[in-house]
């Protein structure tokens, strides 16, 4: 199953969701809850906070499915962005989580790669995951570093500049360069 | 207005990663409201970057959420009125009206503003709040204040609102009974008869909400003419 087929199925599930179809809600949960929870846990470093982030994202989806506009991209993009934003907001609200976040990073390595027991790993999501990881390996280390500090640590560019002791202009330049390089790499994958 | 697309794309990259702060965040908001909606290149860039941002999530290994999460969600998917107490039927009816209206905002005002995700988050939060049994729905002129006891934020929402006089804007002020100067809470965006604003505030010092009409572009140094008001 290709990525585009998966996106089309999401569109149909979303359409059903707008009619209050609980079966569609369950299917979207089955498809994305593991990716969402993994992301939220990586950012917040706490199971209970990660659970709240995912819970709130799914409830927001249930209550206002029209917030997703299919004309603006894939459902996956919308929903994982929603989860990411909520997780970042949670981290920033609770600065004390910083230390726990470091501990979570360690826990993640202990947990091992990819699939935890019971995780539903859609084939097309797995394909995209592999493409994203391959694309990330093409980034120069300094670009990947600022990208990960922003996205996975929820840090602002100002904080990144302070921690790396580099000008904020350099952080911005590296971030944009990383995004452009990733875009090119993934565009090539899409064309294959 | 920024016209340097290299600079714009730097801001858009930071925006989708949610890593902007201070003046950069303000600048990005302005771009998303004013420039991006009318610039095909920037719209495409924003769409691409948002897609990339979501793809980055896949770099994280999936982790099965706790088994209790789906049942917890199922409990909350029950039709809202069934969970309400009969004494709150009026509030429920008002909530339903609000929900329908807010959905309309998502299709019009939010799209044009460009900052869809953040505004969609605000809308979802307003919907969440309006549907809570403890939600307070207080009329403020033709609008409604949606809040919850003890919360540090509220939403101001209205439809069928008359446009402010030409060259003027609606502004929201929070008033204290301690004699302290009123606090400016922000401009109340108006579009096609709809107003919607999220306000964060200190519940301990807020006793009254005023909506004023003031000249567009003027410094909000003191409240102008009060057109709607509500007690906390």
- Cβ–Cβ below 8 Å for B54 and A81: yes
Q: What is the pLDDT of residue A98?
A: 54
Q: Which candidate, A106, A101, A72, A70, places its Cα nearest to that of A88?
A: A101
Q: In chain B, how many domains are there?
A: 2
Assess if residue A132 is contained within a domain: no
Q: Within this chain, do residues A178 and A89 fall inside the same structural domain, yes or no?
A: no
Residue B154, strand partner residues: B199
**Same domain flag for A38 and A91:** yes
- Domain annotation covers residue A184: yes
Residues of A in contact with B23 (CB under 8 A): none
Residue A182 lies in a domain: yes
B25 Cβ neighbours under 8 A, 6+ residues apart: B15
Residue B121 within a domain: yes
Does residue B52 sit in the same domain as residue B79? no
If you search the block for the tokens 């329908």, which residue do you land on?
A: B100
Q: How far is B153 from chain A (nearest CA, A)?
A: 14
CATH number for the domain harbouring residue A181: 1.10.10.10
Q: Considering the domain boundaries, does residue A121 fall inside one? A: no
B118 and B182, same domain (yes or no): yes
Domain that holds residue B27: 5-59
Q: What is the pLDDT of residue B207?
A: 72
Whether residues A53 and A101 fall in one domain: yes
- Are B171 and B208 found together in one domain? yes
- Does B51 sit within 8 Å of A77, measured CB to CB? yes
| Residue B159 confidence (pLDDT) above 80 | no
CB distance B173 to B185 below 8 Å: yes
- Within this chain, do residues B131 and B96 fall inside the same structural domain, yes or no? yes
Domain identity same for B37 and B102: no
Give, as one character, the DSSP assignment of residue B57: G
Across the interface, do B18 and A22 touch by the CB < 8 Å criterion? no
Domain identity same for B90 and B115: yes
B137 contact partners, CB below 8 Å, separation of at least 6: B91, B94, B95, B98, B130, B144, B145, B146
Q: Packing angle between helix A157-164 and helix A141-151, nearest 10 degrees?
A: 130
Domain co-membership, A11 together with A105: yes
Strands B208-215 and B225-231: antiparallel
Please report the ipTM that was assigned to this predicted complex.
0.80
- Tell me which of B128 and A81 has the higher pLDDT: A81
Report if residue B80 sits inside a domain.
yes
**pLDDT (tens digit, 9 = 90+) per residue, B11-66?**
999 999 999 988 898 898 888 888 888 888 999 999 899 989 988 988 888 899 99
Q: In tens digits, what is the pLDDT along chain A, a chain of 192 residues? A: 445 677 888 999 999 998 889 999 999 999 999 999 999 999 988 898 899 999 999 998 988 888 888 887 889 989 999 999 889 888 877 654 455 455 555 555 444 444 444 455 567 677 888 888 899 999 999 999 999 999 998 899 999 999 999 999 999 999 999 999 999 988 876 655
B139 strand-pairing partners: B144
Least confident span in B16-25, B62-71, B117-126: B117-126
State the first-to-last Cα distance of chain A, in angstroms, to the nearest integer: 14
List the CATH number of the domain containing A15.
1.10.1740.10
A106, A160: one domain = no
Among the candidates B36, B59, B82, a domain finishes at: B59
Whether B156 is covered by a domain: the verdict is yes
The Cα-based distances of B28 to A24, A132, B108, B225 in angstroms read 35, 27, 21, 31
Residue B148: enclosing H or E segment and its boundaries?
none
Which residues in A lie closer than 8 A to residue B14 (C-beta atoms)?
Answer: 150, 157, 172, 175
User: Per the domain annotation, does A34 fall within a domain?
Assistant: yes
d(CA A175, CA B9): 10
Question: Are residue A149 and residue A107 in the same domain, yes or no?
Answer: no
pLDDT at site B189? 85
Contacts of B63 in chain A (CB under 8 A): 34, 37-38, 41, 111, 116, 119
For residue B81, pLDDT beyond 70:
no
**At CA A99, angle to CA A94 and CA A105, rounded to 5?**
110
CB B79, CB A22: distance < 8 Å: no
Outline where chain A has alpha helix (H). Answer: 3-17, 22-44, 47-63, 75-93, 97-111, 123-137, 141-151, 157-164, 168-191
Residue B226: which pLDDT band, with cuts at 50, 70 and 90? confident
Over chain B, what is the mean pLDDT? 75
Residue B207 lies in a domain: yes
pLDDT, tens only, B165-183: 888 888 998 887 777 788 8
Q: In this structure, are B100 and B157 located in the same domain?
A: yes
Same domain, A99 and A59: yes
Q: Which of B22, B66, B123 sits opposite A67 (nearest CB)?
A: B123
| Closest-CA residue to A98 (of A154, A47, A50, A60) | A154
Q: Is residue B76 a part of any domain in this protein?
A: yes
* Structural domain boundaries enclosing A44: 3-115
CA A117 – CA B62 distance, rounded (Å): 10
Q: Would residue B172 count as lying in a domain?
A: yes
Cβ distance A160 to B19 less than 8 Å, yes or no, reads yes
Residue B197 backbone dihedrals phi, psi, to 5 degrees: -150, 140
pLDDT band at B118 (very low <50, low <70, confident <90, very high): low
Residue B64 domain flag: no
> Are residues A95 and A175 located together in one domain of the fold?
no
| Interior/surface letters B48-72, b for 16+ CB within 10 angstroms, e for the rest | bbbbbbbbbbbbbbbbbbeeebbee
Number of independent structural domains in chain A: 2
Together in a domain, A100 and A48: yes
> Long-range contact list for A158-163, CB < 8 A, 24+ apart?
A158/B21, A158/B22, A160/B19
Q: Is A41 contained in some domain?
A: yes
- How distant, in Å, are the alpha carbons of A14, A32, A175, B65, B206 from that of A120? 19, 9, 32, 11, 48
Residue contact A76–B54, C-beta within 8 A: yes
Say if residue B167 is in the same domain as residue B221: yes
Does residue B107 register a pLDDT over 50? no
Sheet strands side by side (includes B143-147)? B136-140, B143-147, B153-158, B194-200, B190-191
A47 in a domain, yes or no?
A: yes
Q: What is the pLDDT of residue B149?
A: 67
B45 shares a domain with B24: yes
Q: Is residue B217 part of a domain?
A: yes
Domain annotation covers residue A126: no
Same-domain status, A87 and A172: no
């Amino acid at each position: 199953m290709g990525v585009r087929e998966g996106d089309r199925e999401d569109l149909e599930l979303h359409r059903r969701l707008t009619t209050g179809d609980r079966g569609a809600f369950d299917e979207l949960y089955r498809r994305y809850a593991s990716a969402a929870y993994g992301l939220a846990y990586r950012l917040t470093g706490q199971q209970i906070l990660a659970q709240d982030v995912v819970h709130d994202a799914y409830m927001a989806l249930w209550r206002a499915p029209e917030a997703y506009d299919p004309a603006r991209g894939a459902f996956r993009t919308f929903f994982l962005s929603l989860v990411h934003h909520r997780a970042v907001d949670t981290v920033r609200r609770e600065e004390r989580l910083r230390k726990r976040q470091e501990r979570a990073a360690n826990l993640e390595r202990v947990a091992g790669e990819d699939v935890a027991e019971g995780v539903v790993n859609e084939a097309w999501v797995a394909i995209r995951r592999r493409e994203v990881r391959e694309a990330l390996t093409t980034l120069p280390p300094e670009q990947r570093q600022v990208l990960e500090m922003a996205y996975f640590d929820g840090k602002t560019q100002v904080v990144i500049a302070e921690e790396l002791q580099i000008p904020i202009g350099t952080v911005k330049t590296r971030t944009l360069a990383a995004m452009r390089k990733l875009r090119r790499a993934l565009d090539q994958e899409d064309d294959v | 207005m920024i016209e340097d697309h290299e600079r714009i794309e730097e801001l858009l990259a930071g925006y989708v990663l949610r890593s902007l702060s201070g003046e950069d965040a303000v600048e990005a908001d302005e771009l998303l409201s004013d420039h991006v909606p009318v610039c095909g290149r920037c719209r495409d860039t924003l769409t691409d970057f948002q897609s990339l941002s979501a793809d980055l999530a896949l770099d994280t290994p999936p982790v099965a959420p706790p088994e209790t999460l789906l049942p917890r969600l199922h409990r909350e998917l029950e039709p809202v009125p069934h969970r309400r107490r009969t004494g709150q039927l009026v509030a429920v009816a008002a909530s339903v009206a609000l929900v329908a209206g807010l959905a309309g905002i998502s299709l019009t005002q939010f799209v044009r503003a460009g900052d869809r995700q953040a505004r969609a988050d605000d809308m979802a939060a307003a919907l969440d709040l309006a549907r809570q049994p403890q939600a307070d729905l207080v009329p403020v002129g033709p609008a409604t204040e949606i809040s919850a006891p003890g919360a540090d934020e509220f939403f101001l929402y209205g439809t069928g609102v008359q446009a402010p006089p030409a060259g003027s804007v609606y502004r929201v002020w929070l008033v204290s009974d301690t004699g302290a100067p009123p606090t400016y809470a922000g401009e109340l965006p108006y579009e096609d008869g709809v107003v919607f604003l999220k306000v964060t505030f200190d519940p301990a010092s807020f006793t009254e909400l005023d909506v004023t009409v003031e000249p567009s572009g003027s410094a909000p140094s003191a409240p102008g003419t009060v057109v709607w008001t509500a007690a906390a």
